[in-house]
Structure 1
Amino acid sequence: MLLLLAACSSSVGHSSPEGGAGSREGAPTSPGPGWHLSWSDEFDGSALDPGTWTVEDRSTFGDGGKELACLMNRPQNVTLESGVLVLRAQRERTPLRCGAHDSRFPGGRDYSSAFISTKGAKDWMYGRFEIRAKLPTAPGTSQGLWPAFWLRPVTGGTGELDVLEAIGGGAGSPEPGQVHQTIWYDYDGTHPKESAAVTLPKGSPSDGFHVYAVEWEKGAMRWYVDGVKTFERTTQTTTWLDEAFAQPMFLRLNLAVGGTWPGSPDASTRFPADFLVDYVRVYERA
């Protein structure tokens, strides 16, 4: 099931942080009554907390989807700048060896990027999961880029919850300014994925910071962009909802390069490309 929905963006101005993190447009939002903040990372330190985040290093994690980047744990790809997490994709000047057994690119990869998760450290069963982010998907200069914020079960198996995904585009991109909000039962097609393609009518995900959230409760999921509800699934619309998601899940943030969905970068793709995250916050019911 594919739904086309619209969400409003905010235009509240903020000063630009130092260090090249970009303009911070779009005001933070507050959840509705009954939610309390249980955990957050505001990225105000000098480095990611290793007790919370696992950073993929010389990883070919995305090979199942034909992605092209070597995922690296180094300042060139993962850094904090003026209170903002930067996940950076780069075109390498010389091919980058991605481990000793990279069968797809034994001579090295032309791209590097970043992938972090809270697996083994932080997980939740139900809650509101929110980020404030600026995406590297500017139309015309972002072909092959694929940022995402998503959740997966601690034990693997059924259930993937995509708070947001977006793909970039070259000249004449068919979906400028869209983000995708999706749930999967599994990757075998037992049930079709259910997804919304959300267009921001004022600006786009790449023109400034916007707030993306999902509220996950027993029997219901609700997605928001800048405080506006954009998508909803319940056990009435999705009979398998609780079956797939009644288990603890952890967070993932990544910036993929290439793959079967976004396609490969081309000459117009601008590198380095930055997926900027102002914060990650998790709320639970009081």
Structure 2
Amino acid sequence: MAEPQTHNTAAAKTITPPPPVIPVGQSGDWDLLFSDEFDGTTLDTGKWTTCYWWDDDGCNIASNNELEWYQSDDVLVNNGTLQLRAQQRSIDASNGNTYDYTSGMVTTGRDVSSTSVPPKFAFAFGYTEIKAKIPKGQGLWPAFWLLPVDHNSKPEIDVMEILGNETDMIHFNFHYLNSEGVYENQNNDWVGPDFSDDWHTYAVDWQPDKIIWYVDGVEHFRYTETAYIPNGPMYLLANLAVGGDWPGDPNGSTPFPSYYEIDYMRVWQRSNEVYLLPIADTYTDSDSPSTNYGHDDSIQADHEPIKTTYLKFDTTALAGRRVASIQLQVKSILESGAGSPDTQYVKLVEDTTWQEDDITFDNAPAVSPTSIGSLSDTSSNSTYAIPLDTSQVKPKIGGVFSLAIEGTGTDGLYLYSKDNEFDKPYLIITLLSSTTVFLPIIIKP
């Protein structure tokens, strides 16, 4: 006789997946690009290094007259937090100086000086957030900030800086070079609670047309001068400086050791925004008709002589997606005269077979006569987002297509190419949200 069968009559348990992690105070769909929750017991060296790229068994920023020498043993991971520890201890540094303090820092940048080595992590445009508890004490200077991957000191986005003797005041800063190559700083200070008493989130939403600073999900500063907003990849830094021209020296009341505690650091991008680098870009020049400029770090548009920029984009990953808007973002080079009072036009190029290493004025593909976007009255060292005619470009989305930039006058425009280390052209595509639902129209008899 067959064995009796048993049946589990209990109802199946429904497992609800955890909600996606999104920035504090924000809504909508987000893609998490990077995160470290510091849940282990050691630092993840695949994500972080513990000094600036000029690391020599330690480092600091000498131009700030800081008093610490950053050391890896002052970077601790305990109980789900990253701890950057400042200590009062003497150290003979590799730069020949003796420092009375050591401290900790982390960065997703390089741990070598060569820019041919990729950083641990970098991103262009997005929302970065840190949850932290800062220390109190004269001379302490915790910060969370972004720097460009080309090892320049500008632009610099300071998500948060707090001085240990004013722990109820947060400083937001954006350092950059203007169109004349002159240093400028836009900043705002906000007095809130004593930030050393509890955990808080500090964030920056870096978009092509604005930078917004948040504390605990609430906006406190906004910068909207599009020309100077960075458009190249930047990396994360968090550090606890000791002393320097701004915070001043520690004194007898400063507690040591002191800890800058970090619960997490995260970076997102909006799910409906796509930033694409060209897979090829170059320009041609009628004065040198057989010359190829395939890997020049600039691209140019002029009419006398005729210089035409060509860009090729691969959008095959977006096949089937609904498009709301398309922009071409470019940046003029720093040198004086790189801008132009004339108008430059963006046009489609039907031929996508051209190769960056082969194209010249003599063999360049034909450019459509119809403009799909334009740019006028440009300056040096400035970023421009050119709205493109969506009706013309939308049929190209889902495949590989080419654009050209042509000049109309005698004063040419000089832009950075994708081969520049930091400032690059981008195609910015805004998609209709995946949650958008179009209801069918039902006609009743």
Same fold (TM over 0.5): yes
Tell me what 2:253 maps to: 268
The CA distance in 2 between the partners of 1:90 and 1:210, in whole Å, is: 24
Q: 1:176 to 1:114 in 2, by over 3 A?
A: closer
Q: 1:177 to 1:71 in 2, by over 3 A?
A: same
The CA distance in 1 between the partners of 2:267 and 2:218, in whole Å, is: 18
Tell me what 1:68 maps to: 67
Q: Which amino acid aligns with 2:75?
A: V
The CA distance in 2 between the partners of 1:254 and 1:44, in whole Å, is: 19
3-state SS of the aligned residue for 1:64? helix
- Residues 1:87 and 2:84 aligned together: yes
The CA distance in 1 between the partners of 2:155 and 2:250, in whole Å, is: 29
The CA distance in 1 between the partners of 2:62 and 2:87, in whole Å, is: 17
1:227-253 superposed Cα distances (whole Å, 9 cap, x missing partner): 111111112xxx5423xx110000001
Tell me what 2:44 maps to: 49
Tell me what 1:198 maps to: 190
Q: Which amino acid aligns with 2:203?
A: A
Q: Which amino acid aligns with 1:221?
A: I
The CA distance in 1 between the partners of 2:177 and 2:240, in whole Å, is: 22
Tell me what 2:126 maps to: 127
The CA distance in 2 between the partners of 1:160 and 1:60, in whole Å, is: 19
Tell me what 1:5 maps to: none
The CA distance in 2 between the partners of 1:148 and 1:189, in whole Å, is: 26
Stretches of structure 2 lacking an aligned partner (at least 5 in a row):
1-22, 110-118, 272-445
Structure-to-structure mapping, 1:167-186, within 5 angstroms: 167-169=163-165, 175-186=166-177
Tell me what 1:280 maps to: 265
For residue 176 of structure 1, report the CA deviation from its aligned partner: 4.2
For residue 61 of structure 1, report the CA deviation from its aligned partner: 2.2
* Percent of pairs with identical residues: 39
The CA distance in 2 between the partners of 1:37 and 1:70, in whole Å, is: 33
The CA distance in 2 between the partners of 1:277 and 1:83, in whole Å, is: 9
Larger Rg: 2
CA contact (8 A) 2:60 2:68 kept: no
For residue 29 of structure 1, report the CA deviation from its aligned partner: 2.2
After superposing the two structures, state which structure 1 stretch, 53-62 or 254-263, moved more: 53-62
Match of 2:108 among 112, 115, 118: 118
Tell me what 1:223 maps to: 213
The CA distance in 1 between the partners of 2:235 and 2:167, in whole Å, is: 29
For CA contacts below 8 A with separation 6 or more, give which structure has more relative contact order: 1
The CA distance in 2 between the partners of 1:146 and 1:227, in whole Å, is: 23
Stretches of structure 1 lacking an aligned partner (at least 5 in a row):
1-27, 170-174
For residue 66 of structure 1, report the CA deviation from its aligned partner: 0.3
3-state SS of the aligned residue for 1:192? strand
The CA distance in 2 between the partners of 1:219 and 1:191, in whole Å, is: 20
Tell me what 1:16 maps to: none
- Residues 1:35 and 2:20 aligned together: no
- Residues 1:207 and 2:197 aligned together: yes
After superposing the two structures, state which structure 1 stretch, 180-189 or 58-67, moved more: 180-189
How many residue pairs match? The answer is 234
The CA distance in 2 between the partners of 1:234 and 1:156, in whole Å, is: 25
Q: Which amino acid aligns with 2:172?
A: Q
Tell me what 1:96 maps to: 91
CA contact (8 A) 1:219 1:241 kept: no
The CA distance in 1 between the partners of 2:177 and 2:141, in whole Å, is: 20
For residue 65 of structure 1, report the CA deviation from its aligned partner: 0.6
After superposing the two structures, state which structure 1 stretch, 48-57 or 159-168, moved more: 48-57
The CA distance in 1 between the partners of 2:176 and 2:212, in whole Å, is: 17
Q: 1:246 to 1:31 in 2, by over 3 A?
A: same
Q: 1:248 to 1:259 in 2, by over 3 A?
A: same
Q: Which amino acid aligns with 1:241?
A: Y
Tell me what 1:166 maps to: 162
Structure-to-structure mapping, 1:236-275, within 5 angstroms: 240-242=227-229, 245-275=230-260
Tell me what 2:142 maps to: 147
For residue 134 of structure 1, report the CA deviation from its aligned partner: 0.4
The CA distance in 2 between the partners of 1:53 and 1:68, in whole Å, is: 23
After superposing the two structures, state which structure 1 stretch, 191-200 or 226-235, moved more: 191-200
For residue 46 of structure 1, report the CA deviation from its aligned partner: 1.2
CA contact (8 A) 1:62 1:256 kept: no
- Output the aligned Cα RMSD: 1.9
1:69-122 superposed Cα distances (whole Å, 9 cap, x missing partner): 111011xx1111100000000011xx21111x32xx3xx321000121001110
CA contact (8 A) 1:123 1:251 kept: yes
For residue 32 of structure 1, report the CA deviation from its aligned partner: 2.5
